[in-house]
Amino acid sequence: MRDYYTLKVNLPAGISSPGTLQNLLSLARSANVRNVRFGARQQLLMTVHYEDLRALEKELKKHPISYEINTDQFPNIISSYCGEDVFRTGAWLREGEYHTVLDQFDEQPRLKINLSDSNQSFTPFFTGNLNFIASPEPHFWYLYVRPKQSNTVFRWPELVYTNDLGRLAKAVETALLDSESDFRDAETLHKTVTSQASFITQPATQEVELPEFSLPYYEGFNRYSERSWLGLYRRDEQFPIDFLLDICALCLKTRIGEICVTPWKSLIIKGIEEKDRGAWSYVLAKHNINVRHAANELAWQTEDHSDDGLQLKNYVIRYFEKYDMRTFGLCFGVQTRPKSEVFGSVLVRKRPLLRIGHLALFSVYDLYYTENFNPNARTYIRFEKGLLKPFLPYQIDRLCRKFSNRRSLETGKSVRLETENSEPAPVAANRLYQCPHCFTVYDPQYGDERRGIPAGLSFSQLPNDYCCSTCDAPKIEFQEVQFELTNQIQH
């Protein structure tokens, strides 16, 4: 019997009322839970001992509070709501609009749904299966669909009206999950869905523009308008329940109606009045909570419940601090499990070099960066492969310097989802094949040492039983991708 279980509670759009969170945390504390985490999809995670689990479940069902144990059948709806007002103010997408959308979901979605302001870069655009992005047209949204187990993203042909967003999400989810058809293009899926229901739409005449990535400093007390907001980050991702209970009580006392969870596994509390700053400082001091970590430490995302990823993050950060590295404009993701997804313009992938059955005896690291170093891009380009851990920080340093040199030559224009060539004239066009599950790219220039494939062997020449070196996906599932190499990115 397992000693501990992971219990997950979804917080739709990363929003919780202090009273609801206080009630949930009190139940967890009664079940001898002392710390909780917040996941990359803005959900609440806790580890519960099996002897306490049944009693906790009974109490959760009484209230009632929806939860899952060791599963993720109902991924949380995530949103950029946490950044509204404090990091930017949208032209038309305001906090009330998010609530209008959330009220349309009577059931928990089975697909990952993202709700994003198109002018922000604090939360990811395309990590969902249904990615709704605010368009320039007030109250209309782009929809980008990414079928499950796929890295293919295609745009819905129309802009969707706010009041129809939930209904369309349900119809698309039903088509993708309950139909026997395999939808791999927008036209077929659109025809199937709209043949059964009508929606208020407008033609989508262009692709969404991806803003240049810039991660705001999201920790500590910060002023906005006549009030302040407080960002809370924990280096080990563990939030003491006693501290959070005090936070909830203070929110209720000072009439703060919402606590926001971010995809960076942190909390943001908006609307703190100047007269209450002393009370907030007292709670932080009481629990010895530090709120001034270095910005380059905040720019990391690891998998949920990944001690491996946290240890690697801290290992690299020590190098950053020692050599006073500049990482502004970049964010970093650590992937230790196949098919998991993290948000980052620089991605570190851990993979076993030697495996006996399910036991990994020796691991190395592959280093990737996203196209144009924009974390919302879907194409990963390999920078180095097969690195031993002691050599990883130096190679990340090299990649950061490459980014800084490249950025100094940029014009500052935003990039589009359909990649535009803002580089110097290309010296070569490279046809690569990418695994749709873990995004590993097969490049004939390098071959695949782990599979015994020599450099120079084209993808078509690979044996039929060739599998992805990272997640073992079969060759037939690889998808062709093409991008141009320039003098700047060759090494």
Contact present, 164 and 172 (Cβ < 8 Å)? no
Q: Could you list the beta-strand ranges (E) of 25-126.
A: 35-38, 44-49, 68-69, 78-79, 113-116
- List the structure tokens of 188: 């077929």
Query: Mean pLDDT per segment of 10 residues, for the chain of length 491 residues?
Result: 87 97 97 97 97 95 94 95 86 90 95 95 95 96 90 92 97 90 82 93 91 93 93 96 98 97 98 96 96 94 93 95 92 91 94 79 92 90 94 96 82 43 40 75 79 82 82 80 44 34
pLDDT value of position 2: 63
Same fold, 299-417 and 423-491: no
How many other β-carbons are positioned within 10 Å of the β-carbon of residue 445? 11
Helices 392-407 and 307-322: angle between axes, nearest 10 degrees: 60
CATH number among 2.20.28.10, 3.40.50.2030, 3.40.50.460, 2.60.40.10, domain 423-491: 2.20.28.10
Distance CA 67, CA 60 (A): 8
For the chain, the structural domain boundaries read: 88-210, 299-417, 423-491
DSSP 467: B
pLDDT tens digits for range 232-241: 999 999 999 9
- What pLDDT, on the 0 to 100 scale, is given for residue 420? 34
How far, CA to CA in Å, does 317 sit from each of 94, 223, 323?
Answer: 35, 28, 10
Tens of pLDDT, residues 80-100: 999 999 987 667 998 899 999
C-alpha 254: how far from chain center: 32
Does CATH place domain 299-417 in 3.30.413?
yes
Question: Residue 204 corresponds to which tokens in the numbers above?
Answer: 């989508």
User: What region, left, alpha or beta, does residue 288 occupy, with left being phi > 0 and alpha being psi -120 to 50 degrees?
Assistant: left
